[in-house]
Amino acid sequence: MSTLSDTSAAAPSASQVESDGSWKRWIPLGLVMLPLFWLVFILPYAAGYGDFRRTIFKMLLNSWSDPTWQHGALALPMAVFLGWRRRKELESLPEQPSVWGLVVAFLAMAMYWAGYRGNFYYFGYASIQLFVAAIILWLWGWRQFRVLVFAWFILGFAWPYLFLEDTLAFKLRYLMVTVTAKVLNFFSVDTVQDGTRLISAATPTRLEGSWFRLNVDGPCSGLRSLFALIMVSALFAYFRQRTFWRQVVLFAMSIPLAIVANMIRILALIGATMLFGQEFALGKGEEYTSNFHLITGVAVFILAIAGLMGVETLLNRVLGPEKPRSYWKD
């Protein structure tokens, strides 16, 4: 009896066995991450408009130093956090590796190779995004990917989409300046639009541009906050609403809210110029930017976030409130 008692006492419990072997499930992930680390951090990938190839990570660091794309540095830790907060749900799901993971991995490798040969770093960005999806599908399965799909989506904000600055951002900036000119003329502030410049019109007592002359260029347009606002609106919609289409509505509102907020900023700059002079409102060209100009840049983002909160309040009043997600667990 004593022998049996000693044997049973020495035998590990089921939870201990599971705990001792739980680390082994991470071995395949570690093995897969090694080549991915090499592709991102070690291998010189593309040169872009430069004279020599740089790694994808080096290109990301250069882009993240630009205020337009600074939010990209937060995308990876935010995606990791979003996955971590659903860890218990992931642990409860059975692992059912999918062959589609290999299919997506093959597509990612083909895209990575095409970008390397063509010296086109956007293909490299897209391939790494696909590699992450392939790893999840191959090692764990579709159910786990559905749990992590929003975290994977947020990871997409890490990549700098520079081509959007000359397409989407410019078109939105031109639209914003056009509408602002119409608003000023509607309120009898005679304004002439010259591209993305707003100039006070000539009158019998004033020369053209003597009242205000505002050049709404890229860095000063405030639309550089658009891309960060899109990411913030996605997170805001995810945590504040649970119905998918209501999340889409909040997410889509980020663009018109950015335009409206920037219009308000332009009107404030023009008003300050008319009342206190151009040096107070704008500064002295590129050499010196006034504090008022900087404050209105921050106010643009705050106004847009307030607009998102207003849209959410309207949705809840019209369609009924939804319980917000906890920030730390689902």
Task: Judge whether 57 and 65 are in contact, CB under 8 Å.
Answer: no
Whether the per-residue pLDDT at 32 is higher than 60: the answer is: yes
User: Is residue 327 in a domain?
Assistant: no
Domain endpoint, select from 159, 192, 216: 159
User: Is residue 6 in a domain?
Assistant: no
Q: Quote the pTM value.
A: 0.84
Domain endpoint, select from 138, 159, 180: 159
Whether the per-residue pLDDT at 296 is higher than 70: the answer is: yes
Same domain, 106 and 144: yes
pLDDT at residue 318 in the model: 92
Same domain, 86 and 227: no
Same domain, 268 and 204: yes
Q: Which helix (H) or strand (E) holds 214?
A: strand 213-215
pLDDT tens digits, residue range 82-118? 999 998 898 899 989 999 999 999 999 999 999 999 8
User: Is residue 3 in a domain?
Assistant: no
Please report which confidence band the pLDDT of residue 25 belongs to, taking 50, 70 and 90 as the band edges.
Answer: low
Whether the per-residue pLDDT at 205 is higher than 70: the answer is: yes
What is the mean predicted confidence (pLDDT) over 297-302?
86
User: Is residue 183 in a domain?
Assistant: yes
Concatenating the DSSP letter of every residue in 294-328 gives HHHHHHHHHHHHHHHHHHHHHHHHHH---PPPPSS
User: Is residue 270 in a domain?
Assistant: yes
Domain endpoint, select from 99, 127, 159: 159
Number of domains in the chain: 2
pLDDT tens digits, residue range 114-155? 999 988 899 999 999 999 999 999 989 999 999 999 999 999
Whether the per-residue pLDDT at 63 is higher than 60: the answer is: yes
Whether the per-residue pLDDT at 19 is higher than 70: the answer is: no
pLDDT at residue 218 in the model: 59
User: Is residue 172 in a domain?
Assistant: yes
Full domain range(s) for residue 98: 24-159
With H, G, I as helix, E, B as strand and everything else as coil, classify residue 203: strand
Higher pLDDT, residue 55 or 293: 55
Higher pLDDT, residue 104 or 27: 104
